[in-house]
Structure formats: C-alpha cells, structure tokens
Chains A and B, each alone.
Chain A
Amino acid sequence: MLRKRKTKKAMKLHKHKTFKLGGVHPDDQKISSGVAIIALPLPKVVTIPIAQHIGAPAKIVVQRGDMVKVGQIIATHEGFVSSNIHTSVSGRVGVIEEVMDSSGFKHTAISIRVKGDDWDESIDRSETLVEEIKLEPKEIVTCIMNGGVVGMGGAAFPSHVKLSVPEGKHVDYLLINGVECEPYLTADHRIMLEKPKEIIVGIKILMKALGVQHAIIGIEDNKQDAIELFERLLQKESSITVEALEVQYPQGGEKQLIQALLNREVPSGGLPSDVGVIVHNVGTTYAIYQAVQKNKPLIERVVTVTGKSIKQPSNFLVRIGTSVIDLLIAVGGVPEDTGKIVSGGPMMGKAIADLDVPVAKGTSGILVIPKDEASRAEIYNCLHCGKCIEACPMGLEPYHLLLMAKKGNSKRAKEEHILDCIECGSCSFVCPSNRPILDYIRLGKTQIRKEKKV
C-alpha cells in the first residue's frame, strides 16, 4: 500500500509542484464541487457574533430596538488587529447576549430580527464588473478595513493587517490560495469557477496595495476546470500566473503554499512577509474586490454544506449570522445516521455542540459525518513508529510533543517548537494507535500562552 502510494507520488512529482516536508493524502470527497452556488433565502433571525476574527472583539455601536439596513456597521473595530462587523440583514436589533458560537464557547452576539431586505444606498449591488482601480494603495487598505474583510480560509485574520507590511520588509510576491486542501469543502472551488473575473480584479487591487509585480494563483490539480479557466483568462496578463499543484494535505497552509510555489521557508515564529510573500485566499480576494470596487462589506460568504448521507450537498451564499440549522434544513434536514456535525473541514474543523451556532466570517463549510465514521477509535500505546514525524509538514516530532504537553513541561515543549504547529491534524490522521496527538499539542500550546499572560 505504502509503496504503491509512493510510486504514484513519484510519477506525479514530474508534473506538479508541492511542499517538501510531510503531508498526507486523505480521500478528497469533493461531492459538492459540481453544484453551483445558490443564495440561501433570508432567515427570520440572524445572530452576529462580535468576535468573528483573530484579535480584539469589535465594540457594539447599536442598541436593542434600533432599525438597521444591510451593510450598516453594528460593531466597530477595537484597535488595529480587529475588524468591523456589519449587519447582514435589515431589521430590528434584538437582544445582545452571550451565545454559543462555532468555537464551542459563549461569546457576545447581536441578534437581528429580519424585516424586508433594505440595503444601504452606498452599496453597489449590480453584477457589472468594475475593472478600473481608482483608489491609492493606502485608501485600498482603509477601504478593506472599513469593509470588515478577514481571511476567509478559516483562521479569519483581519486582511488589512496582512496588507500593512511592517517597515523594513520587502514583499515581492503575492500568492493567492485556491488550494482548498480540506476534503469535502468546495466553497473556494465554486467561487473560482463562478467569479473568476472578479477574483482577477481583486488580485490586481491587492498587487496595487502591496506594490508587488508578481502574483501566483496556486490551485490543486483536482480542480482542473478552475486551473484551465484561469489560464484562459490570464493569457494576456504577464504578472499573474496560475500554478497547478499536486494534491496533498495541508497544502492550503500558508507556509506550505509558500514552500510549494516559491520554495521559500518561513522561519520559525516568523511571518510570510519575512520571506517577501503575502498570501490571501481566493474567497478573501473576492470579498476584497467587493469591498473596494462595490463598497460592499463582508456580510455574506459561500458555505459548503456536505456529507456522505446528505441528500443534496450544496454550496450556499449565506448571510453572516444565519444559524447552522437553517443551512441543514436547506439541504433536506439532518440525516438519521448523523454522528457529528462539523464546522469546517474534516481535518481541521470543529464539531459543533449546538445547531443554533451562527455562520461566521470564517465558516467555510458544514460537514455532516455519519455515525460509523464519527467516533474515535480505541487508543493504544505509542509504537514509536515515527509515522507522525513523517507526516508533520512543519518538521516537528508530534509524539514527543504529546508527552511533553501531557506532563505539563511547557519549557521543553517550547524548545521543541510546539508553537510552530499549524494544527493540521496530519499526525493524528496517520497514527496507527489512534493517539489524540493534536489534542495534547493544542493543550500544550494553550498552556504556554496562559503562562505568557501570567
């Protein structure tokens, strides 16, 4: 089995690039890739959390009973690493209370009772493509900040922060992440197929804002149609290229993509800008196009709702704050054999404990896993087989980090670069003893962060 896979890998190596260290090959299961994006009907109530991004939660600026229009700011960013929150529907502001979000913890959220679909006048809702970029680089960043755009690949890092490159660092490449290496998810794939021209304008906006001359769109070769489409559209553009990549998880990780496309290695604890690169997701690029050219803030996103037992796996255009249950009803309800419902992909996603959890800016998919695949297998002792080391894309020793985290030895764990872990879960995926490696590594990381705070 192993040999077979290796020869396959060797054959493919001549064709396409990929990252060098580690990686795994989960079954990709992109069952919803052929389904066009459908706009989900407006829900009755939306619940919009004020902490949907990495950084400080936004500050609420509305009160209970206020009438709001679609696109109106309801919470402003607190400090630089934060993001504006806009209402995704029009209606009356309801209770502002703590609700469970997809993180599994309760956070403050604003509920809005929907009345009609009344948009803010400044938003251009037409489908016409606006190609001319009028704004200056600094204005673009401000525009993106005002639009509340965050990374839509999952981590939800505020995009304007990424675009503000620290002084003394020179960026020469912009990478656009169309990899979507998580199995099942197809949101980025559909956006690439349906909004390619908008994405290209978005890339040009980003290039202007950063002052870079080269951009590369990285797409895995299981999305051949998207690769061909972009190649056709970009024939005349010399500064933007498309690169097909071999299918390998976790290629969508920022550091892995940089290694795959440019063969540069981000130093431990460093940022992509340290090696002259900025990476943005295709979904984010589309949101940036809308924020800059159409003055439309980030109020909706594409969410894949999928699973083996789901009747019609779909890709929905969903208003932020719609609850997960509405999405599941739209695909024909929760199947009887459901074991787990996961927000995100099967590798990095998180099981949700409550179906009223709202869709946030970073929710890329809702995955329903049947019972027989959902539960964890029995845990055995470590065999020291080294498979986790082989699979780790960051070159760490996961089994070792597990032990250190279990013993609470933060100092050693830090020395062994536990903080470099990108939490991709490849180690747990390959472990023949089903050990909860990532769980403990995550625990070790939280312990170190806690100690730092104290």
Chain B
Amino acid sequence: MNQVILYTIITLTAIGIVAAVVIYFVSKKFAVQEDDRIGRVEAILPSTNCGGCGQPGCHAFAKAVVDAGDLSVLHCPVGGNAVMKQVGEILGIKVVERDPYVAVVRCSGSFEYRKKTNVYDGAGSCKIAAALYSGDTGCAYGCLGMADCVDVCDFEAMYMDEKTGLPVVIEDKCTACNACVKECPKNILELWPKGKKDQRVYIACLNEEKGSTARKDCAVACSGCSKCFEACRYDAITMNNNLAVIDPDKCKLCMECVDTCDVHNIITANVTPEKIQAANEQRLKREDRARKKKEEEKIASQAENQKGNETSQA
C-alpha cells in the first residue's frame, strides 16, 4: 500500500519536473516581445475601458500610443491632460494640452413645454422609437426620453430628471468619453468645451422647423428669430435652417446673447445671474448708443440734404 503511494508521488513529481523544464524552454523560445512601455502606459490609464479614445480599451490605447509614438491624434478624455502628460513623459514626447470637454443636453422640451401627442408603446429604447417614427411629441428633433444615454454611461454621470423627462449630465462625473453622444439617435447630446472657469453657453434646441410650427410643438423651441445672432459681437452664432447655433470655438463667453432669447433657451453653466444681467445692460447700452448715433447721422444727412437743396435753389 505504502509502495503504491510512494511510486505515485515519484512518478507525478518526475512528470512535473520534465513538464516544467519543457515549458521553461518553450516559453523562452516563443516569448512574445512586448514593448515594456505599453505596460507602463496602461498602468497610468484610468482602466475604464470606455472606448472614449476611439480604441477598444485601455490596453489597445496604450499599444496604439506606443506604436504611433505621437500624441497629436490619440487622447484619453477620461484621464485628461494630467494623464496624457505622464504618458508623454514615458514616451519622451511633449504633449499639447487640450481643453477638457463635457457633454451637454441640447433639448429643453420638458413635459411642461412639449406636450405629448401620442403614447409610445414599443420596446423601451430611444433607438427603436427613432427608427419607428418621429416621436411621441410634435417635435421630431427633441429628446425621446427613454434614457439610452443614461444606460450607456459608464461613469454614472447621467440621470433622467423625472419632472422634465430629460437627461441631466453631472458635470463633475462626466469624462467626455463620447458614449452618450454616439448612442443618442437624435444627436441631442454633444461634447462641449468645458470653458474658462467651467463656464459654458449653448442653445438647447435642435428644431429646424419654421418658427410657428416649432413653437406649436414646443413652447421653448428655437424659432429662428435671429435676435441672439444679431446681438453676438464675435460672429459665434450662425443661423442654419431656422435654428441658431453657437460655435464654442468663437464664443468669448460674454453672455450678451443670453437675455435676448424670448423663451430663455440659451443655457448657461456656472455663470452668475449678476454677470448675465451686467452683460445684458452692457448690450442694451451699446445698442442704445448705436441707435442714437444712427439717428444723429440721419438728422445730419437730412440737414445736409436741405442745405444742398437750398444752395441749388439759390
């Protein structure tokens, strides 16, 4: 009996030793040479595997960065400038700092402003509803409110506001990974530069219908009245298909446009009401001056005309 146990132990140990030797040499022979920088870069990355960089995951991003040896295109939005700087140090490249972004919701059509015209009864997904028809309200551009964006968010940075039926982005948690932007079938979510002192201004409407139709469907729709367009001193606002759009690259955050909107649908973030008020007063003063100047010019030209007439008569 004891012998059997002894033999078994000896045989198994022998097999184990032989196998270990074989495996050792095989692993030496067929070892995969990986750049050690890949591992180091990956260790710095946030390991969320969110895909916000455009790569399938953090390892793939690290590999792509090391292979490319260039950081002009590749950027980890979750880690931001701090992480990218460290990555640059490992690779020995200088990294240009990028402005941080945040997702914004470009629809203000809450239950209160945008009445339901029918009841959607299909599968509970915005993508399916959008493929089926234009939506359960009159507005074909607005939020469908079935929270595809919230479901896809890996950072718990979004939630549905039950009162308004619209998604809300929690600014501090949003990493600008782009997942919600890609998910939304109505393109309501958009990445927006976080801005100086985290201040932003954007128009929360995408309705391209004519003003009267748009307002019939939603009380806060952009009617394309061009008031904000005219107020902007920096050409940051453009009018396209009855819709005003702010270009964040040109916007100087002067906030003068905010109060021109008659439905208060130019949304600001982290801006004090005092600043908006001050900006508005400044704008009104400027407009006043411009008007007075115009009137004076008009009077002057009229006087000149009269003078001219008198001299010709004489």
Q: Nearest chain B CB to A373's CB is how many angstroms away?
A: 12
What's the dominant secondary structure at chain A's contact region? mixed
User: What residues of chain A lie closer than 8 Å to B122, measured between beta carbons?
Assistant: 376, 436, 439
Contact status B128-A103, CB under 8 Å: no
B117, B121, B132, most chain A CB atoms within 10 A: B132
Bound CA–CA A404/B151 (angstroms): 17
Q: Show 25 A/B contacts (Cβ-Cβ < 8 Å), sorted by A.
A: A103-B133, A104-B134, A105-B140, A106-B134, A340-B121, A350-B132, A350-B133, A351-B121, A353-B117, A353-B118, A353-B133, A353-B136, A375-B121, A436-B122, A436-B128, A439-B122, A439-B123, A439-B125, A439-B132, A440-B123, A442-B128, A442-B131, A442-B132, A443-B128, A443-B131
Contact status B134-A100, CB under 8 Å: yes
Beta-carbon contacts under 8 Å, A400-454 to B: 436, 439-440, 442-443, 446
B117-145 CB mask vs A (1 if < 8 Å, else 0) is 11001110101100111101000100000
Bound CA–CA A443/B124 (angstroms): 13
Q: Nearest chain A CB to B215's CB is how many angstroms away?
A: 16
User: What residues of chain A lie closer than 8 Å to B136, measured between beta carbons?
Assistant: 353
B121, B122, B123, B132, most chain A CB atoms within 10 A: B123
Q: Nearest chain A CB to B182's CB is how many angstroms away?
A: 9
Bound CA–CA A106/B134 (angstroms): 8
Does A225 count as interface, using CB distance less than 8 angstroms?
A: no
Does A374 count as interface, using CB distance less than 8 angstroms?
A: yes
Interchain CB contact (< 8 A) of B131 among A100, A106, A374, A446: A446
Bound CA–CA A165/B225 (angstroms): 53
Does A228 count as interface, using CB distance less than 8 angstroms?
A: no
Does A354 count as interface, using CB distance less than 8 angstroms?
A: yes
Task: Kindly state the interface size class of chain B when it binds its partner.
Answer: 10 to 19
Beta-carbon contacts under 8 Å, A334-352 to B: 340, 350-351
Bound CA–CA A103/B132 (angstroms): 8
Q: Nearest chain B CB to A407's CB is how many angstroms away?
A: 12
User: What residues of chain A lie closer than 8 Å to B127, measured between beta carbons?
Assistant: 443
Bound CA–CA A376/B121 (angstroms): 7
Bound CA–CA A100/B118 (angstroms): 13
A322-344 CB mask vs B (1 if < 8 Å, else 0) is 00000000000000000010000
Interchain CB contact (< 8 A) of A374 among B118, B121, B132, B134: B121
Interchain CB contact (< 8 A) of B140 among A106, A351, A439: A106
Q: Nearest chain A CB to B296's CB is how many angstroms away?
A: 46
Bound CA–CA A374/B119 (angstroms): 12
User: What residues of chain A lie closer than 8 Å to B134, measured between beta carbons?
Assistant: 100, 104-106, 353
18 further A-B pairs in the complex, CB-CB below 8 A; given A105-B140, A439-B125: A104-B132, A104-B134, A105-B134, A350-B132, A353-B134, A354-B117, A376-B121, A376-B122, A379-B123, A436-B122, A436-B128, A439-B123, A439-B128, A439-B132, A442-B132, A443-B127, A443-B128, A446-B131
Q: Nearest chain B CB to A74's CB is how many angstroms away?
A: 23
User: What residues of chain A lie closer than 8 Å to B121, measured between beta carbons?
Assistant: 340, 351, 374-376
Contact status B117-A436, CB under 8 Å: no
Beta-carbon contacts under 8 Å, B86-136 to A: 117-118, 121-123, 125, 127-128, 131-134, 136
Residue of A at shortest CB range from B134? A105
User: What residues of chain B lie closer than 8 Å to A350, measured between beta carbons?
Assistant: 132-133
Q: Top 8 closest A-B pairs, CB basis?
A: A104-B133, A436-B123, A353-B118, A439-B123, A439-B128, A446-B131, A105-B134, A443-B128
User: What residues of chain A lie closer than 8 Å to B125, measured between beta carbons?
Assistant: 439, 443
User: What residues of chain B lie closer than 8 Å to A351, measured between beta carbons?
Assistant: 121
Bound CA–CA A366/B215 (angstroms): 31
A349-381 CB mask vs B (1 if < 8 Å, else 0) is 011011000000000000000000011100100
Q: Nearest chain B CB to A356's CB is how many angstroms away?
A: 11
Bound CA–CA A103/B131 (angstroms): 10
What's the dominant secondary structure at chain B's contact region? loop
Q: Nearest chain B CB to A366's CB is how many angstroms away?
A: 16
Contact status A354-B118, CB under 8 Å: yes
Bound CA–CA A447/B257 (angstroms): 39
Interchain CB contact (< 8 A) of A440 among B118, B128, B133: B128
Bound CA–CA A102/B118 (angstroms): 14
Residue of B at shortest CB range from A339? B121
B129-169 CB mask vs A (1 if < 8 Å, else 0) is 00111101000100000000000000000000000000000
Bound CA–CA A350/B122 (angstroms): 11
Bound CA–CA A430/B117 (angstroms): 31
User: What residues of chain B lie closer than 8 Å to A104, measured between beta carbons?
Assistant: 132-134
Q: Nearest chain B CB to A427's CB is how many angstroms away?
A: 13
A136-147 CB mask vs B (1 if < 8 Å, else 0) is 000000000000
Bound CA–CA A104/B120 (angstroms): 12
Q: Nearest chain A CB to B75's CB is how many angstroms away?
A: 23
User: What residues of chain B lie closer than 8 Å to A375, measured between beta carbons?
Assistant: 121
Q: Nearest chain B CB to A118's CB is how many angstroms away?
A: 33
Residue of A at shortest CB range from B132? A104
Bound CA–CA A106/B140 (angstroms): 8
User: What residues of chain B lie closer than 8 Å to A106, measured between beta carbons?
Assistant: 134, 140
Residue of A at shortest CB range from B140? A106
User: What residues of chain B lie closer than 8 Å to A374, measured between beta carbons?
Assistant: 121
Q: Nearest chain B CB to A428's CB is how many angstroms away?
A: 10
Beta-carbon contacts under 8 Å, A50-103 to B: 100, 103
Q: Nearest chain A CB to B227's CB is how many angstroms away?
A: 25
Beta-carbon contacts under 8 Å, A8-45 to B: none
Q: Nearest chain A CB to B59's CB is how many angstroms away?
A: 21
User: What residues of chain A lie closer than 8 Å to B128, measured between beta carbons?
Assistant: 436, 439-440, 442-443
Q: Nearest chain A CB to B149's CB is how many angstroms away?
A: 14
Bound CA–CA A350/B132 (angstroms): 9
Residue of B at shortest CB range from A379? B123
B118, B121, B125, B133, most chain A CB atoms within 10 A: B133
Q: Nearest chain B CB to A263's CB is how many angstroms away?
A: 35
Contact status A105-B133, CB under 8 Å: yes
Bound CA–CA A354/B134 (angstroms): 11
Q: Nearest chain B CB to A433's CB is how many angstroms away?
A: 13
User: What residues of chain B lie closer than 8 Å to A379, measured between beta carbons?
Assistant: 123
Q: Nearest chain A CB to B61's CB is how many angstroms away?
A: 20
Q: Nearest chain B CB to A360's CB is how many angstroms away?
A: 15
Bound CA–CA A351/B118 (angstroms): 10
Q: Nearest chain A CB to B207's CB is how many angstroms away?
A: 12
User: What residues of chain B lie closer than 8 Å to A446, measured between beta carbons?
Assistant: 131
Bound CA–CA A216/B136 (angstroms): 44
Q: Nearest chain B CB to A99's CB is how many angstroms away?
A: 11
Q: Nearest chain B CB to A339's CB is how many angstroms away?
A: 9
Bound CA–CA A152/B121 (angstroms): 28
Q: Nearest chain A CB to B133's CB is how many angstroms away?
A: 3
Bound CA–CA A106/B133 (angstroms): 9
Bound CA–CA A440/B127 (angstroms): 9
